[in-house]
Structure 1
Amino acid sequence: MSTVKPAARAGVSLSLKGRALRLLAAREHSRAELERKLAPYEETPGELAKALDELQAKDFISETRVVESVINRRAARLGTARIRHELLNKGLGAEAVATAVSSLKDTELERAREVWRKKFGEPALDAAARGKQMRFLAARGFGADAIRRVVSQAEDD
């Protein structure tokens, strides 16, 4: 069974705009992500920038939607630091990232509690287990203060 798509078999290649729309149909992408993914397909200099300018003018590419999408998908499982890192890797503007991060900081403690509850559910019995719980939350991008409060509060219950 062949894995080549029908259009490729017929010798028809997608335009840059078509490729971008296919990527955008799957999930929101920032302009920088699209540039990185589509650069190998650019045949003439400036062609990719022109296609992305057109898509951005028609609001197919939106920095705000990318931020909202990442927050909606990741906030329930990850801390502010990890989400901030992911947003920066997508090539989003510093101002948009800062705004998103400030809104996430308000809920970080509650999100850390929920992640801890799903993974562990009961207080650590010794220092090694407490360290494991703290490292788990830290790896998810939660701040030290939130981690300390979640783990110590679990022991107080």
Structure 2
Amino acid sequence: MFNTEKSEKPKTLTGTRLRSYAFALLTRRDYSQAELSNKLNQYAINPDEVAELVAELAQQNYQSDQRVAELTLASQLRKGKGLQRIKQALKAKELDEELITEELKEVDWSEQAYQLKIKKFGIDVAKDPKIKAKQIRFLQYRGFSMDAIMKAIARTSEEE
């Protein structure tokens, strides 16, 4: 009765139309090479042509995995995410492992956890175990390590 299979999109793009579509995608937002290839392969007739085009766009700096990693990291930090959640977001973009490590090593995770704790719970150090547990769960969910969490919840305002 109902067609439950995804209907295959017709693959029609080659040459200039494929290039135009790639530029149209990149003008909206930055894509990693893997994401851009996947997107273009949905419509392209020749996967080899897609690979060549993506490599050319990267070489000419229209597409940059470095830029994607930096923007993703900045965005995730603004959202109050910790190391594990950010690693997950970067891996989802299929970025190189070295690039991910390079981007993440410059961040002070204890400071990030502390700033998030202040924003959510204030500057007071919790004495009540229930409140401490709530803060720990909140920061764990955000992807912070236990080490960074313990430093953040024990830190007083005089230590700044």
TM bucket (normalised to shorter chain) is 0.7 to 0.9
Counterpart pick for 1:56 among 55, 58, 77: 58
d(CA) in 2 for partners of 1:156 and 1:32? 46
8 Å Cα contact 1:17/1:52 also seen in 2: no
**Matched AA of 2:119:** K
Q: How many pairs were matched up? A: 142
Name stretches of at least 5 consecutive residues in structure 2 with no aligned partner.
Answer: 1-15
8 Å Cα contact 2:117/2:139 also seen in 1: yes
Percent of residue pairs bearing the same amino acid type: 33
* C-alpha RMSD over aligned residues: 2.4
- The Cα shift of 1:155 comes to 10
- The Cα shift of 1:23 comes to 2.4
Does residue 94 (structure 1) correspond to residue 102 (structure 2)? The answer is no
- The Cα shift of 1:144 comes to 0.7
3-state SS of paired residue (2:46) = coil
Aligned to 2:44: 42
Counterpart pick for 2:68 among 43, 47, 66: 66
Normalized against structure 2, the TM-score is what? 0.77
Normalized against structure 1, the TM-score is what? 0.78
> Against the structure 1 CA distance between its residues 46 and 130, is the aligned structure 2 distance closer, same or farther, given a 3 Å change threshold?
same
Aligned to 2:8: none
**Matched AA of 2:90:** L
Aligned to 1:118: 119
Runs of 4 or more, structure 1, over 3 Å off, are 122-125, 154-157
3-state SS of paired residue (1:60) = coil
d(CA) in 1 for partners of 2:47 and 2:102? 34
3-state SS of paired residue (2:47) = coil
Q: Equivalent residues in 2 for 1:78-157 (5 A)?
A: 78-104=81-107, 107-121=108-122, 122-124=124-126, 126-153=128-155
